[in-house]
C-alpha cells in the first residue's frame, strides 16, 4: 500500500477519533459538574444513587461499558441496538462524567469556608458566590487532574474498535491485517502522539491563563 493511501485512511480514522474526543468533552465536562452536585447533595437518596453510578463507572472497564450500551438495549429490553457512533459517545460521556465529577467535588470541597462567609457578607447569594468566586478558583485547582483525564481520553478513543466504530486504531488494525505490516500501527502511534501533544499544549496554555489565582 502506498504511503499516501495509508496516510489518507489513517487520517479518515483520525477524524472519527477527534469527533469522539470532542463530543465526549463537550458533554461530559458539564454533566460531571451536575453529577458532582448530586454527589454532594444533602438528599441521601440522590447522593447514594450518584455514588453507586460513580462506583460502577470507575470500577468497570470502559470497553465493557461500551458493549453494554451498544448490546444492552437488545439483550435486556429486546430493542434494536443504537447507532454504533451514538453508543460510543453515550458510553464515553457517562464514563468520563463520573471521573470529572470526582475531580470537581475534590476541588469544590477544598475551598475554605471563609470564602463563602466573606461572599455572604458582601451580599452575594449562593449562585453568585459559586459562579463568581468559587468556580474560577476551582477550575485553577482542578486543571492538572483534568488535563490527565483529557490526555487519557485521547488514547481511550481507540476502544471504540470494540463495537466496530472506524476510528484510527480500527483503521490501522484493518490495514495491518490486510498488508501483514506493522507500518499502519507505527503511523497510528505517530498520529496519537501528535494529537496528545496538541492537547497537552492547549491545556498548559489554559493553566497559564488561570495563573493569576495564585
pLDDT at 86: 93
Give the pLDDT band of residue 3 (cuts 50, 70, 90): low
Question: How many whole angstroms separate alpha carbon 37 and alpha carbon 40?
Answer: 5
DSSP labels for the chain? --HHHHHHHHHHHHHHHHHHHHHHHHHHHHHHHHHHHHHT-S-HHHHHHHHHHHHHHHHS-HHHHHHHHHHHHHHHH-PPPPPHHHHHHHHHHHHHHHHHHHHHHHHHHTS-HHHHHHHHHTT--HHHIIIIIIHHHHHHHHHHHHHHHHHHHHHHGGGGGGGT---HHHHHHHHHHHHT-SHHHHHHHHHHHHHHHHHHHHHHHHHHHTGGG-
Domains of the chain: 3-213 (1.10.3720.10)
In the chain, what is the straight-line distance between the N-terminal and C-terminal CA atoms, in Å?
54
Q: Which three cell numbers stand for residue 185?
A: 500501527
- Residue 86 has a CB neighbour count (10 Å cut-off) of 14
d(CA 19, CA 79): 26
Q: For the whole model, what pTM was predicted? A: 0.87
Q: How far apart are CA 80 and CA 74, in angstroms?
A: 5
180, pLDDT greater than 80: no
In this predicted structure, which of 30-39, 104-113, 114-123 has the lowest mean pLDDT?
Answer: 114-123
pLDDT, tens digit (0-9, with 9 covering 90-100), for 140-164: 888 889 999 999 999 999 999 888 8
Distance from C-alpha of 67 to C-alpha of 163, rounded to nearest angstrom: 7
Amino acid at each position: 500500500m502506498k504511503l499516501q493511501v495509508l496516510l489518507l485512511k489513517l487520517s479518515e480514522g483520525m477524524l472519527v477519533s477527534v469527533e469522539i474526543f470532542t463530543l465526549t468533552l463537550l458533554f461530559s465536562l458539564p454533566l460531571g459538574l451536575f453529577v458532582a452536585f448530586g454527589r454532594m447533595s444533602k438528599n441521601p437518596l440522590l447522593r447514594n444513587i450518584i455514588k453507586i453510578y460513580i462506583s460502577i463507572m470507575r470500577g468497570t472497564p470502559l470497553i465493557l461499558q461500551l458493549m453494554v450500551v451498544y448490546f444492552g438495549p437488545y439483550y435486556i429490553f429486546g430493542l434494536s441496538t443504537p447507532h454504533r457512533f451514538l453508543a460510543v459517545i453515550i458510553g464515553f460521556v457517562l464514563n468520563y462524567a463520573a471521573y470529572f465529577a470526582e475531580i470537581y467535588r475534590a476541588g469544590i470541597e477544598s475551598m475554605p469556608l471563609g470564602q463563602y462567609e466573606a461572599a455572604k457578607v458582601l451580599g452575594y447569594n449562593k449562585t453568585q458566590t459559586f459562579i463568581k468566586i468559587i468556580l474560577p478558583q476551582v477550575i485553577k485547582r482542578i486543571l492538572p487532574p483534568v488535563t490527565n483525564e483529557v490526555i487519557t481520553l485521547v488514547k481511550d478513543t481507540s476502544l471504540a474498535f470494540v463495537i466496530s466504530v472506524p476510528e484510527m486504531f480500527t483503521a490501522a488494525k484493518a490495514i495491518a491485517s490486510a498488508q501483514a505490516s506493522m507500518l499502519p500501527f507505527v503511523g497510528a502511534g505517530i498520529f496519537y502522539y501528535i494529537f496528545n501533544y496538541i492537547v497537552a499544549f492547549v491545556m498548559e496554555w489554559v493553566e497559564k491563563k488561570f495563573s493569576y489565582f495564585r
